[in-house]
Structure 1
Amino acid sequence: MTLKQTIYMALAVAFLVIGVHQSIVVGVLESYWIIMLSFIFLMLFRMDKPKR
């Protein structure tokens, strides 16, 4: 796992935790964008393949 992949995964997990917390506190509609940021970082993690 490269450094870039590690950063993407850490950001995805962090935004997911923040998004779930905000969903409980203020509702899903207000925190939807945070959950989508998590999804974007997860997709970036999946798409970033190290060159062999």
Structure 2
Amino acid sequence: MTIKQTIYLALSVVAIVIGIHRATQDGIVESYWIFMIAMIFLFLFRMNKGK
């Protein structure tokens, strides 16, 4: 695993944790964008892993 992949994975985990925390307070609709950022980082991780 390269440093780039590690950063993508760490950022996705952080975004998921923040999204879950915000979802318990504000609701899933208000924290939807945070989950989408986590998905973007996961996609970037997977795309980089395939090379």
Could you say whether these structures have the same fold, taking a TM-score greater than 0.5 normalized by the shorter chain as the test?
yes
Query: Where does structure 2 lack aligned partners over 5 or more consecutive residues?
Result: none
CA separation in 1, counterparts of 2:33 and 2:50?
29
User: What residue is the counterpart of 2:43 in the other structure?
Assistant: 43
**What fraction of aligned residue pairs are identical, expressed as a percent?**
59
User: What residue is the counterpart of 1:14 in the other structure?
Assistant: 14
Matched positions, count: 51
Name the Cα RMSD after superposition: 1.2
| Deviating 4+ runs (over 4 angstroms) | none
Query: Where does structure 1 lack aligned partners over 5 or more consecutive residues?
Result: none
TM-score, length-scaled by structure 2: 0.93
Residue 36 of structure 1 aligns with an amino acid whose one-letter code is M
Largest Rg, 1 or 2: 1
CA separation in 2, counterparts of 1:20 and 1:50?
28
CA separation in 2, counterparts of 1:39 and 1:6?
15
